[in-house]
Chain A
Amino acid sequence: MDFTPIIDGFGIVLQPTNLLYCLVGVLIGMLIGVLPGLGPAATIAILLPLTYGIEPVSAIIMLAGIFYGAQYGGTITSVLLRLPGEASSVVTVFDGFAMAKQGRAGAALGIAAIGSFIGGTISIIGLSVLAPVVAGYALDFGPPEYAALGLLGVLLVATVGNGGKLKAVIAAALGLLIATVGRDTFTGAERFTFGNLNLADGIDFVPIAMGLFGLGEILYNLEENHKKVHAPAKVARVWPTRQDLRESKGAIARGSGIGFGLGVLPGGGAVLSSLVAYAVEKRRAKQPERFGRGAIEGVAAPESANNAAATSSFIPLLTLGIPANATMALMFGALLIQGVQPGPQLVDQHPDIFWGVINSMYIGNILLLIMSIPMVGIFVRILRVRPAILAPITALITMLGVYTVNNSVFDIYLVIVFGIVGYLMKKFGFDPGPMVLAFVLGTLIESSSRQSLLIFGGDPTGFVTRPISGTIFAAILLVALFPLLRKAFRMRRGDKQPEPAPERLPERETTEAK
Chain B
Amino acid sequence: MSTTSEPGRQQAAEADILEELKAELAHDLEEERPPHAGPLAQVGAGLVTLALGVAGTVLALGYGLGTLTQPGPGLWPFAVSVAVTALSMAQIAFGRDGQDTEKFTRSSALTALGVLSLVALAALLPVIGFEVPSLVLMVVWLRFLGGESWRMTAVISVLTVAAFYALFVVALSIPLPRLV
Contact = CB atoms under 8 A, between A and B. Distances in A.
B71 A428 contact: no
A322 to B, nearest CB: 12
A264 interface: yes
A174 interface: yes
Contact of B84 (A177, A224, A396): A177
B102 A475 contact: no
A3 interface: no
A458 B77 CA distance: 18
A436 interface: no
A459 interface: yes
A388 B115 contact: no
A404 B105 CA distance: 35
Contact of A388 (B22, B87, B142): B142
Interface size, A (range): 35 or more
A341 interface: no
Contacts of A283: 17
A193 to B, nearest CB: 11
B145 A225 contact: yes
Given A388-B147, A500-B16, A403 B73 contact: no
Nearest to A316: B3
A189 B73 contact: yes
Nearest to B34: A223
Contact of A429 (B6, B63, B100, B176): B100
A450 interface: yes
A486 interface: yes
B15 interface: yes
A152 B72 CA distance: 24
Contact of B114 (A53, A160, A222, A261): A222
Contact of B91 (A152, A167, A265, A505): A167
Contact of A430 (B6, B45, B148, B174): B45
Contacts of A429: 42, 45, 98, 100-102
Main secondary structure of the interface of A (DSSP, over half): helix
Contacts of A478: 5, 8
Contact of A392 (B7, B49, B115, B160): B160
A279 B21 contact: yes
A180 B71 CA distance: 14
Interface string B25-47: 10010001010010001101100
B125 A472 contact: no
B45 A180 contact: no
Interface string A378-407: 000000001111011101100110011001
Contact of A279 (B18, B72, B145): B18
Contacts, number: 245
A106 B74 CA distance: 59
Nearest to B108: A223
Main secondary structure of the interface of B (DSSP, over half): helix
A458 B71 CA distance: 9
Contacts of B37: 427-428
Interface in A347-365: none
B150 interface: no
Contacts of A167: 45, 91, 95, 98, 100
A170 interface: yes
Interface in A229-287: 261-262, 264-268, 275-276, 278-279, 282-283
Interface of A: 53, 90-91, 93, 152, 156, 160, 162-164, 166-167, 169-170, 173-174, 176-177, 180, 184, 186-187, 189, 191-192, 215, 218-220, 222-226, 261-262, 264-268, 275-276, 278-279, 282-283, 386-389, 391-393, 395-396, 399-400, 403-404, 407, 409, 412-413, 416, 419-420, 423, 426-430, 446, 449-450, 453-454, 457-460, 468, 471-472, 474-475, 478-479, 482, 486, 498-501, 504-505, 508
23 contacts: A164-B95, A170-B84, A177-B77, A186-B71, A192-B56, A225-B146, A268-B7, A279-B17, A282-B17, A388-B142, A389-B156, A391-B145, A392-B157, A392-B160, A393-B160, A396-B160, A400-B130, A404-B176, A413-B119, A429-B102, A453-B68, A458-B68, A482-B11
